[in-house]
Structures are given as structure tokens and as C-alpha cells.
Structure 1
Amino acid sequence: MATDRLEIDLERFDGWLRRLVDDHPGALVTHRDEPGGAATTVTWPDGGAECGRFDLDPLILVLIRRGGYAVGVAEGGELVAAKVGRRRVQGRTAAGGWSQQRYARRRANQADHLVDAVAGHAATLATRQAPAALVLGGDRRLGTHVLADPRLEALTGLPRRELPDLPDPSARVLAVALRRARTVWVRFTTPARPVEHGRRDRG
């Protein structure tokens, strides 16, 4: 069973879906509402595809890696507020003994400060306009720590999309995250004949 995800830009999806159906004679298409947006299921005799939209507004985006962070709020596909910063968290060291322990404590403290700063910025943006959905990107462990902050309790139950493959956060990466989050995500239940190339991600 295939596990690749195909990301199709929303404005291209209807045409892509028509070509998918044409490429699989006898395909059955059904539509339904999901918490994150409209969903489409396509089935044919030897397989199928699940297609999910994520068109809720406003979106809050939280991107974090050890090199920095970017948080933002978007509505209608446009960023309306953002905060981007850099807080370096040192990498692991090969040193041993007391030096290694001291280095590990410093590294943990740096990570804690980073998480606290990101949670604070996200909480500030969330209080200005209550988000309807969450996009979480970058380091999964750090992202989990950010969402564990009590100030962000309201975000944990929101519909969510995760983009762990994003590089170090920046204003440009934040814009990329927004675009990718609003694409239609397609997963095939079996390998399908190529219809049209889109962005393909493992996940």
C-alpha cells in the first residue's frame, strides 16, 4: 500500500480530479465534510484515493527548529500577522564526563528558552484572533513542547496539519508552509497510474 502524499494546489484540484476519474474507468466519487474541510474519496476496482482539503480560517502557523522559529496567522490564504526570530540551540557534543553534562544542561536551557519564546508569540497572536485550525511545522519534539504550554491549550484541539520536513523557519519558509497547508492532500490506497505531477511527500 502506498504511503506517499501528493499535494495539489486548490485551484488545480478540480481538473486533477477529473483526469483521475477519466484515468480509472468506473471510479466512484463521494464527498463529505470533515473537521479540517471538505474531503473527497475516489474508489475504483483495484484501489482508490483519499483527498482532503484544509480550508479553514483563520489559520495559526507554528514553525520551530533549533535554529529559530516563525509563527503567523493567515486568513484567505494570506498572512495577516507574523513573528520570525532566531534562537540558536547548540548541537550535541562528543565530549565526555563533566563537560558533557554541563554542555547538555546548557543545550536543554537553550531549548527551553526557545520553546517558551515561541509559545509566547503564538499565544499573543491567538488572542488577537481565535484561530480555527493549526499548522505545525519543523522539529516534532520541539513542536510538542510548544503545544504543551498552558497558554496554548486552546490550540491542541484544533484541526491540524503537520509539516515536519520544513527547513529552518524564516519568513520565506512561513509563506511556503501556508501554501502547502492549504493544498489538497491526496493519499492513494494502491499505486495509481500517473495523472499529473504535484508535490509528493513521505508521511
Structure 2
Amino acid sequence: MPERVLTVSPERLDGWLAGFAQRHGATTHRAGPDVVVVEAADGAVASCAVPFPPLENDDTEQPYDGLIAHATRERRIAVLLVRRGGYAAGVFAGTRLVASKVGSRHVQGRTAAGGQSQQRFARRREKQTREAFEAAADVAARVLLPHVAGLDAVVTGGDRAAVDHVLADRRLTALATLRDRTRNAPHLAVPDPKLAVLEATPATFRAVRITLSEPDVAP
């Protein structure tokens, strides 16, 4: 059966699962700490990645109530977005942004020039990049670290190498450790980190990712 991956907001998950059963027949499910697998009568399968696992239990009277309650729970999440020349750090309580800072530093683009001019340009660009990452680390330390004891998870986005460089700052060890322990969280693909981009991230990091396999329908 062909597979496709889709994302569903926690608030829509109950309706999506009900629609899955309506389309494919009676369902059964297996709940694990990281994934809930829903199988339908016609062979369709929906594997729901548990957001911010583990799912501690699913011992509820109604199917999927445990997953839905887990997905809709309000969590305190730190978000760090870094791209070359731009950065954003924020703390969310559920979908509400409670602390944030965004900024940018000029980093020159690439050039086709050669010789000594190219070497000078490369050194200047390297210095600008280093200063931009240092500024991003300063902001992460100022905005995120005061909340670290109460965080449920750290979510990152933008350029992976840039994020890793920033989190390598010794001040941010606690954030880096929590990021590495955050299972099933996507690395967010974002444009230049502006405030509006940061504010929109809960729609992605809270979403339930579902791998859907459906039987081919004969013409």
C-alpha cells in the first residue's frame, strides 16, 4: 500500500480519527510510548507519532482518548531558530508566546571573485558568521535559560549546522541536552527568523505526524 505523511493539529485529531474509521471501517489500535498504530477493517493503517513522548498510558474508556489528551496538553516549549545572519528565541506556554527575542546580523553572500580578493572576502564572511552565531547564543542565554527548569522540550529550526554551532556554546549545555532528549519533534524548516515566523511555529511543533497507508481502490 502506498504511504503518505500528513500532519494534524491536536485539536483536529479526534475528528480526523473518526473520519478515518468512517472511511475504512472498524478500527483497533496499539499504543506505545512513541507511536499509536491504528488499523482499520479494510487494511488501512494510520501510525500516529506521539508528540513529545512518552505516551504514559492509553487506559481510557474511549479509543484514542489518551493520545488526544496527551497531544492537547499545554506544554512549555523553548524554540530556537537560526539561519546565517538571523535568529529567534522564544518560550511558548501552549500556543502563547511568553518570552521572545529576534535579531539579525549582516553576513555577506558568496562571490565568484578569485585571488586575494576572494580570500579577504572569505575571512570577512567567516568573521561576520561567527559574530552572528555569538549574538544568537547571547539571545538564547538571555531569553531561554531563565525558563530552562520549567521546560518540557526544546525545538529548533532553520539551518541545522548553524543551530548546532549556537548550542555548542557552553552556556547553553542544558538547552542542548534537552533538545537531544526531545523525541519526535521535527526540526522546523523556516525562512529568515522574524517574529511572525517564530509565532507560527506551534502549528508545526504541536502537530501530530501521521504515516498513512491506504489500500488501492480498484477503478
TM-score by length of 1: 0.81
Question: Residue 62 of structure 2 aligns with which residue?
Answer: none
Question: Residue 11 of structure 2 aligns with which residue?
Answer: 11
Larger helix proportion of the pair: 2
Deviation (angstroms), 1:46: 5.6
Alignment partners' CA distance in 1, 2:163 and 2:48: 27
Larger strand proportion of the pair: 1
Runs of at least 5 residues in structure 2 that lack an aligned partner in the other structure: 53-72
- Contact persistence 1:140–1:164 (CA under 8 A): no
- Contact persistence 1:147–1:155 (CA under 8 A): yes
Question: Residue 74 of structure 1 aligns with which residue?
Answer: 92
Question: Residue 169 of structure 1 aligns with which residue?
Answer: 193
Residue aligned with 1:129, SS: helix
**Among 9, 24, 43, the residue aligned to 2:39:** 43
Q: Which amino acid aligns with 1:75?
A: A
Deviation (angstroms), 1:126: 2.9
Question: Residue 148 of structure 1 aligns with which residue?
Answer: 168
Structure 1 residues 86, 56: CA separation in 2 closer, same or farther (over 3 Å shift)?
same
Alignment partners' CA distance in 2, 1:90 and 1:4: 39
Deviation (angstroms), 1:83: 0.3
Structure 1 residue 178 corresponds to structure 2 residue 202? yes
TM-score by length of 2: 0.75
Which one scores higher on RCO, CA 8 angstroms, separation ≥ 6?
A: 1
Deviation (angstroms), 1:179: 2.5
| Identity percentage of aligned residues | 39
- Contact persistence 2:81–2:157 (CA under 8 A): yes
Alignment partners' CA distance in 2, 1:154 and 1:77: 23
> Which deviations, in whole Å up to 9, do the C-alpha atoms of 1:135-175 show, x marking residues without a partner?
11111111111121111111223216334421111110001
Alignment partners' CA distance in 2, 1:118 and 1:173: 16
Alignment partners' CA distance in 1, 2:75 and 2:156: 15
Equivalent runs, 1:64-143 vs 2, <5 Å = 64-130=82-148, 131-143=151-163
Structure whose CA Rg is larger: 2
- Contact persistence 2:79–2:91 (CA under 8 A): yes
Runs of at least 5 residues in structure 1 that lack an aligned partner in the other structure: 194-203
What is the aligned length?
Answer: 188
Residue aligned with 2:193, SS: coil
Alignment partners' CA distance in 2, 1:33 and 1:124: 34
The 4+ residue runs of structure 1 with deviation greater than 6 A are none
Alignment partners' CA distance in 2, 1:120 and 1:81: 15
Aligned-residue RMSD, C-alpha: 2.4
Alignment partners' CA distance in 1, 2:173 and 2:49: 29
Question: Residue 201 of structure 1 aligns with which residue?
Answer: none
